């Protein structure tokens, strides 16, 4: 049962395509499935990989009024270690990885930086119980769609989850976690969210798993009232055929801020389909509420989707086309002041890849994106043309 694995918030897949460009909200906020690795990560032991890329970017800072172009180089080594099996058998398991990213600008050398990402999963699995901790730390400095400028920040995500299976087809879960976003710019607003969760899951058939999840949380944002949330969602993981898989979580969230409250829908969904050997398609979507890091006392209603197709052309060449759209609507939930900003973001990214060896791949890509904001100080248009080399040692 997929939901019982407790594999952590991010998959440690090495030698995968590393996003070689400044990500906008659409790509970074989507429910993701791991990209196929050039070489499968070992079940145990060490794994090393690296991605090197160069891209011409006509708007490196996502600026609305003064776009600046440059050539951006990235070098991204990755190292990971795994011991034990979190899915099968009994005993302890651990999985950890670290991925720094050196970002160098040809003409804007003062913006050169090193981003960092470290993540780990550790736990113990028995016959009917499982306990696991997962953690993620990121230090990033790329430009964001919300701020419209380079934004230095640290993101932290921790969760402890316990699973008990009193019967063969039933699992009971309890979890607690914390998420933080901390900004170096004093003009931006840090956030700290703590949550607790209980869930029951039932294996209806070998191809269908259903679940019910209840979560309570408290979100603290600088210079804003505390936000208390209660969320109830239903889940289904359905695989009617070997080449089709649907994962859906949908429900509602009640959010209380100061003396006001509101109820909003929440959704995360993804469909993956392999109609024939060498062809893969996916469609994913999401709906949720987020606290703004740019506007004091404001939240954003986030709605978006992405779709993509990957086609193997022959033993050496493959092609991929991805696109997505997102809507971000800001509104005041605490304090006073102007609100009402709305962003409409879309992107399209075609790419072709050449497998130059069993462990190496060369990718050529073009990416165009646009943020149509009703605030003239924000929004952007961006085009990139780049190449990346991907190798697993």
The CB density around residue 342, as the number of other CB atoms within 10 Å, is: 15
As a whole number of Å, the CA-based R_g of the chain is: 21
**In Å, what is the CA distance from 97 to each residue of 13, 14, 143?**
9, 9, 25
End-to-end CA distance of the chain: 32
* Angle, CA of 113, 117 and 123, to the nearest 5°: 165
Rounded-to-10 torsion of CA 20, 22, 25, 28 = 30
Coil, strand or helix at 31: coil
Coil, strand or helix at 337: coil
The tens digit of pLDDT for each residue in 258-313 reads: 889 999 999 999 999 999 999 999 999 999 999 999 999 999 999 999 999 999 99
pLDDT value at position 44? 82
pLDDT value at position 53? 95
- Residue 26 is given by DSSP the state H
Query: How many whole angstroms separate alpha carbon 284 and alpha carbon 25?
Result: 14
Backbone angles phi, psi at 262, to 5 degrees: -155, 160
pTM: 0.86
Contact of 44 with 63, CB cutoff 8 Å: no
Listed in sequence order, the residues at least 6 apart from 372 whose beta carbon sits closer than 8 Å to its beta carbon are 343, 344, 345, 379
- Residue 16 is given by DSSP the state P
Nearest-CA neighbor of 373 among 76, 145, 207?
A: 145
pLDDT value at position 142? 93
Domains assigned to the chain? 2-392 (2.40.170)
The tens digit of pLDDT for each residue in 17-40 reads: 334 333 444 444 333 333 333 334
Nearest-CA neighbor of 393 among 49, 97, 14?
A: 49
Backbone angles phi, psi at 191, to 5 degrees: -135, 150
The tens digit of pLDDT for each residue in 325-334 reads: 999 999 999 8
* Ranges of residues in the chain whose predicted pLDDT is under 50: 1-41
pLDDT value at position 3? 38
Q: Both tokens of residue 28?
A: 């970074």
pLDDT value at position 11? 39
Q: Both tokens of residue 307?
A: 């779709």
pLDDT value at position 18? 35
């Amino acid at each position: 049962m997929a939901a019982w694995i407790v594999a952590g918030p991010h998959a440690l897949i090495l030698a995968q395509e590393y996003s070689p460009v400044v990500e906008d909200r659409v790509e970074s906020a989507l429910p993701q499935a791991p990209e196929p690795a050039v070489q499968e990560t070992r079940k145990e032991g060490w794994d090393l990989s690296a991605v090197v890329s160069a891209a011409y970017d006509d708007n490196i800072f996502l600026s609305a009024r003064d776009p600046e172009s440059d050539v951006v180089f990235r070098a991204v080594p990755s190292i990971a270690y795994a011991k034990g099996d979190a899915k099968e058998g009994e005993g302890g398991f651990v999985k950890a990885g670290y991925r720094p990213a050196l970002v160098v600008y040809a003409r804007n050398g003062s913006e050169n930086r090193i981003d960092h990402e470290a993540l780990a999963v550790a736990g113990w699995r028995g016959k009917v119980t499982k306990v696991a901790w997962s953690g993620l730390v990121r230090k990033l400095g790329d430009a964001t769609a919300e701020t419209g400028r380079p934004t230095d920040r640290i993101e932290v995500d921790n969760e402890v989850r316990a699973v008990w299976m009193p019967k063969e087809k039933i699992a009971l879960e309890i979890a607690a976690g914390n998420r933080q976003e901390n900004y170096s710019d004093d003009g931006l607003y840090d956030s700290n969210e703590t949550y607790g969760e209980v869930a029951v899951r039932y294996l209806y058939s070998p191809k269908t798993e259903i679940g019910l999840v209840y979560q309570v949380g408290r979100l603290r944002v600088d210079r804003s009232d505390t936000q208390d949330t209660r969320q109830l969602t239903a889940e289904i993981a359905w695989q009617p055929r070997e080449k089709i898989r649907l994962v859906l979580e949908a429900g509602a969230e009640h959010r209380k801020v100061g003396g006001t409250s509101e109820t909003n829908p929440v959704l995360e969904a993804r469909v993956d389909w392999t109609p024939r050997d060498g062809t893969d398609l996916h469609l994913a979507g999401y709906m949720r509420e987020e606290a703004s890091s740019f506007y004091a006392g404001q939240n954003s209603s986030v709605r978006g989707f992405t779709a993509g197709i990957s086609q193997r052309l022959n033993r050496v060449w493959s092609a991929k086309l991805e696109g997505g759209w997102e809507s971000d609507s800001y509104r005041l939930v605490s304090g006073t002041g102007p609100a009402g900003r709305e962003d409409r973001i879309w992107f399209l990214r075609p790419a072709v890849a050449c497998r130059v060896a069993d462990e190496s791949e060369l990718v050529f890509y073009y990416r165009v994106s646009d943020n149509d904001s009703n605030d003239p100080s924000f929004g952007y248009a961006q085009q990139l043309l780049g190449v990346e080399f991907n190798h697993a040692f």
